[in-house]
């Protein structure tokens, strides 16, 4: 008999499902034919613990332990990258990470030779790492399956009712469970509405990305962005991944890149560097879904026992997944955060769905 149903097969759903399956019979439902089809499969893949809303920093730092010793992965998930923030005239520098150093224009171009000589300064952070998103997602799928979990794809939840137990309609079939975990990404408010619950007011925001040919010797460059967050680029194999760093509000959908956003990003990167980008090899867009206060939504719905939210991951859902998955599982188990996260200063109230009611 199913104890817990997890809705959503992105990184949030699979990480939570893997930890929940250590104690319970868990079924994971994914609407698409492949897991990680939406935001998770479209990420930039950076582990940058000082980035994002301050309330989630304890999750980012605590997740490092899993990334460094990934169970159920046969290869390391982290590799060196670094972040270089360019400061151009009229911009001010806001260092993010603990390892941040202010450097002069010559040092900036010593790290990334193509940066324009109009740059006034740089912030160099060696610590941020590349994170293997597919490897992380697969590690949690393996962990989940090893614990006996069941994954159903092409399994869109279309109705949720509450009787003695939760009863979900999935393409004509019914599944019952004591606990529902709403890890539906951009659709998490829609899933709550299916259960007759109030929305928390999530805002999906589109971000555009594309690949271009990488110049020789660029494979060791860090992620490069400007301090106004108007673009970024970073090596990705033999290519450079580029982005407008846009945050355009969107409906939950299969996000598509807009030509104008790709063109704008190329113009900004070409102004800031001598890369001279003329053509794009591939392009895509993904949704980064935020709560109105920028924090995440993790916890039991105040008006529905056994309905748990795991949503609002914004731009940090990959780098927080191990700790967020463990937090969700412990909240289902005991109603409290794991002691390690409490000791790290996690403020559970900053995650509570009740803060929006």
Ligand X SMILES: Cc1cc2nc3c(=O)[nH]c(=O)nc-3n(C[C@H](O)[C@H](O)[C@H](O)COP(=O)(O)OP(=O)(O)OC[C@H]3O[C@@H](n4cnc5c(N)ncnc54)[C@H](O)[C@@H]3O)c2cc1C
Of the residues 27, 31, 212, 296, which one makes contact with ligand X according to CB under 6 A: 31
Of the residues 30, 125, 189, 226, which one makes contact with ligand X according to CB under 6 A: 30
Window 298 to 357, contacts with ligand X (CB under 6 A): 313-319
Q: Which region, judged by CB under 6 A, interacts with ligand X, from 4-12, 86-94, 107-115, 226-234?
A: 4-12
Q: Which region, judged by CB under 6 A, interacts with ligand X, from 31-39, 82-90, 227-235, 328-336?
A: 31-39
58 in contact with ligand X (CB under 6 A): no
| Two tokens, residue 43 | 């990420």
Residue with tokens 């004509």: 172
Question: Mask 86-125, x = binds ligand X (CB under 6 A)?
Answer: ----------------------------------------
13 in contact with ligand X (CB under 6 A): yes
**Number of shown-chain residues binding ligand X (CB under 6 A):** 41
Of the residues 16, 17, 28, 29, which one makes contact with ligand X according to CB under 6 A: 29
**Between residues 97 and 105, which has the closer beta carbon with respect to ligand X?**
97
Write a three-state SS string for the chain: CCCEEEECCCHHHHHHHHHHCCCCCEEEECCCCCCCCCHHHHCCCEECCCCCCHHHHHHHHHHHHHHHCCCCCCCCCEEECCEEEEECCCCCCCCCCCCCEEECHHHHHHHCCCECCCCCEEEEECCCEEECHHHHHHHHHHHHHHCCCEEECCCCEEEEEECCCEEEEECCEEEEECEEEECCHHHHHHHHHHCCCCCCCCEEEEEEEEEEECCCCHHHCCEEEECCCCCEEEEECCEEEEECCCCEECCCCCCCCCHHHHHHHHHHHHHHECCCCCCCCEEEEEEEEECCCCCCEEEECCCCCCEEEEECCCCCCCCCHHHHHHHHHHHHHHCCCCHHHHHCCCCHHHCCHHHHC
250 in contact with ligand X (CB under 6 A): no
135 in contact with ligand X (CB under 6 A): no
Q: CA-CA distance, 239 to 241, in Å (whole number)?
A: 6
42 in contact with ligand X (CB under 6 A): yes
Q: What are phi and psi of 12, to 5 degrees?
A: -65, -50
To ligand X, the closest distance from the beta carbon of 272 in angstroms equals: 19
152 in contact with ligand X (CB under 6 A): no
Of the residues 32, 127, 178, 247, which one makes contact with ligand X according to CB under 6 A: 32
To ligand X, the closest distance from the beta carbon of 314 in angstroms equals: 6
Contact 252/205 with Cβ under 8 angstroms? no
Of the residues 40, 73, 85, 218, which one makes contact with ligand X according to CB under 6 A: 40
To ligand X, the closest distance from the beta carbon of 7 in angstroms equals: 5
**Between residues 73 and 319, which has the closer beta carbon with respect to ligand X?**
319
Using alpha carbons only, what angle is made at residue 356 by residues 322 and 62, rounded to the nearest 5 degrees? 20
10 in contact with ligand X (CB under 6 A): yes
Q: Which region, judged by CB under 6 A, interacts with ligand X, from 18-26, 143-151, 182-190, 257-265?
A: 182-190
- Among candidate residues 198, 184, 135, 192, the one with its CA nearest the CA of residue 155: 184
Question: Mask 208-227, x = binds ligand X (CB under 6 A)?
Answer: -x------------------
Of the residues 28, 43, 123, 235, which one makes contact with ligand X according to CB under 6 A: 43
Of the residues 21, 175, 184, 296, which one makes contact with ligand X according to CB under 6 A: 184
Per CB under 6 A, residues contacting ligand X are 7-13, 29-32, 36-40, 42-46, 156-157, 183-187, 191, 207, 209, 243, 286, 288, 313-319
């Amino acid at each position: 008999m199913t104890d817990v149903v997890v809705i959503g097969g992105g990184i949030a759903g699979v990480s939570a499902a893997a930890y929940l399956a250590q104690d319970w019979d868990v079924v994971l439902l994914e609407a698409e034919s492949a897991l990680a089809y939406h935001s998770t499969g479209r990420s930039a893949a950076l582990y940058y613990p000082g980035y994002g809303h301050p309330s989630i920093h304890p999750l980012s730092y605590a997740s490092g332990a899993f990334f460094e010793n990934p169970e159920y992965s046969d290869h390391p998930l982290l590799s060196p990258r670094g972040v270089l923030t360019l400061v151009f005239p009229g911009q001010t520098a806001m260092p993010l990470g603990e390892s941040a150093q202010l450097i002069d224009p010559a040092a900036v171009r010593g790290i990334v030779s193509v940066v324009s000589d109009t740059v006034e300064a740089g912030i160099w952070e060696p610590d941020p790492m590349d994170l293997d998103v597919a490897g992380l997602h697969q590690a949690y799928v393996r962990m989940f399956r090893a614990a006996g979990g069941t994954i159903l794809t092409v399994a869109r939840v279309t109705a949720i009712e509450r009787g003695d137990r939760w009863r979900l309609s999935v393409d004509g079939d019914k599944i019952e469970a004591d606990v529902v975990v709403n890890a539906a990404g951009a659709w998490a408010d829609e899933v709550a509405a299916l259960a007759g619950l109030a929305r928390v007011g999530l805002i999906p925001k589109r971000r555009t990305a594309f690949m271009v040919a990488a110049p020789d010797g660029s494979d060791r460059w860090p992620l490069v962005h400007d301090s106004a967050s108007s673009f970024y680029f970073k090596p990705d194999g033999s290519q450079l991944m580029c982005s407008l760093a846009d945050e355009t509000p969107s409906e939950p959908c299969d996000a598509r890149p807009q030509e104008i956003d790709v063109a704008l990003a190329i113009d900004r990167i070409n102004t800031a560097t001598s890369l001279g980008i003329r053509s794009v090899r591939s392009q895509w867009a993904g949704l980064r879904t935020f709560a109105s206060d920028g924090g995440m939504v993790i916890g039991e719905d105040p008006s529905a026992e056994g309905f748990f939210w795991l949503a609002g991951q914004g731009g940090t859902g990959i780098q927080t997944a191990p700790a967020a998955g463990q937090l969700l599982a412990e909240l289902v188990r005991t109603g409290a955060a794991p002691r390690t996260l409490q000791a790290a200063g996690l403020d559970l109230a900053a995650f509570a769905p009740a803060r929006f009611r």
